[in-house]
Amino acid sequence: MNTFRTLVHISLVFVGALAASAEDKLAATPPMGWNSWNHFADKVDDKTVRETAEALVSTGLKAAGYIYLNIDDTWEGDRDKDGVIHPNQKFPDMKALADYVHGKGLKLGIYSSPGPKTCAGFEGSLGHEEQDARTYAQWGIDYLKYDWCQQPPANVEQMKTAYSKMHEALAKTGRPIVLSLCQYGWNKVWEWGPSVGGNLWRTTGDISDRYAVMAEIGFNQNGLEHFAGPGHWNDPDMLEVGNGGMNEDEYRTHFSLWAILAAPLIAGNDLNKMTPYTVEILTNRELIAVDQDPAGKQGFRIAQEGPFEVWMKTMADGSKVVGLFNRQRTVEQMSVSFAQIGISGDAGVRDLWLKKDLGSFKEKYSAYVPAHGVVLVRITEK
Ligand code: GLA
């Protein structure tokens, strides 16, 4: 009996470990890709997606890790007499589109809502969860953003039920499909997101292409670092880099903060009209390595004095990535003391935007930080 119990226990642990590793594999590091909403909104169509697939490859974004090509709201058409969802006239053949995207070595994402209608008023998945999950799997979909839209306020149990239902429906298809929860951080989703199968969950309302909005979202993520890790990530919303509403220092702040936060890096600009500077930001390998660090530790704020904030992320190799963020409108000298980041001796400092080793420092590192800008360094104890 005891042996039997032990065996049952061992096999359960084994099955558990298998399940955990399969889920972790799906979003072992924060998902990277592109989404249509921030730039194209309801203008997204088959042609946009194909052109974006080509651009992901030709601009080097795919090589830098941007793999998911996600169609947001407004692709949905009607259901047929059997209840099967069909795309609208903007997407003549979703399966053919998925094949095309897969042919480029990319993955295709789609969007729906747990309610009857999506946020833009299109067909949602309520009552059709299993059917929709099967349709997505048949098309070859790899990622689903599931957005709580146009529904009466729900309590945490109702939300959990709705999200679990889709998670189970997706799991039943046997196709690995990343599940992105979008319900704006209501009911402290970070506390239960993983338990309903969420690989990432929005923690805030919608971002827009303005410094004030981006900064309010990004700098307010402090405290959520306890809830992120391999397979399950806080999502402060998609990137606005390259959309034109912020200056270069502000976009650098945006990208640096998202990297320190181990946030999903989902570009939201027109990839066919990028300035060299936009490409440089989005493909900065040293920043991407911070975001994608295998330890999956979300960074947090270690000091704040008015508009001056110092954030830190611990990397798998023990080094510390430190962001000196200046939220005021004029340049300012800022510093980080090594004691604050747990370094007692001398340390090597590398600037991740200049991509340059700055040498060895004692006790602290100081730098002039531009208005609304950042100095991002990786500090390694000697
Ligand atoms: C919500 C989401 C956005 C986008 C739109 C689409 O506002 O937060 O990211 O998906 O819906 O309608």
Per residue in 174-216, pLDDT tens?
Answer: 999 999 999 999 999 999 999 999 999 999 999 999 999 999 9
Is the pLDDT reported for residue 157 higher than 90?
yes
Distance 73 CA to ligand 1 centre (A): 7
Q: Residue 283: what residue type?
A: T
Q: What is the token pair recorded at 322?
A: 């430190």
| Average pLDDT estimate for 285-290 | 98
Q: In this structure, how many other beta carbons lie within 10 angstroms of the beta carbon of residue 360?
A: 12
pLDDT given for residue 3 in this prediction: 47
Is the pLDDT reported for residue 6 higher than 70?
no
Q: What is the token pair recorded at 288?
A: 């991407």
Q: What is the pLDDT of residues 346-370, one digit of tens each?
A: 999 999 999 999 999 999 999 999 9
Q: Residue 206: what residue type?
A: D
Q: Residue 249: what residue type?
A: D
**Residue closest by Cα to atom 6 of ligand 1:** 73
**Residue closest by Cα to atom 5 of ligand 1:** 119
- 111 CA: nearest ligand 1 atom: 10
pLDDT given for residue 152 in this prediction: 72
Pocket residues: Cβ below 6 A from ligand 1: 37, 72-73, 118-120, 147, 182, 206
**What's the pTM?**
0.94
For residue 324, name the pLDDT band (cuts at 50, 70, 90): very high
Is the pLDDT reported for residue 4 higher than 70?
no
Rounded to whole angstroms, the Cα distance separating 281 from 284 reads 5
Does the annotation mark 82 as catalytic? no
The residue to which tokens 């799991």 are assigned? 171
For residue 20, name the pLDDT band (cuts at 50, 70, 90): very low
**Can you say whether the dihedral through the CA atoms of 194, 236, 283, 105 is positive or negative?**
positive
Q: Residue 381: what residue type?
A: E
* Nearest alpha carbon to residue 85 among 46, 159, 138, 40: 138
Residues listed for the chain:
382
pLDDT given for residue 10 in this prediction: 47
* Nearest alpha carbon to residue 262 among 92, 73, 28: 28
Strand pairing class (332-337; 347-351): unpaired
Distance of CA 46 to the CA centre of its chain: 23
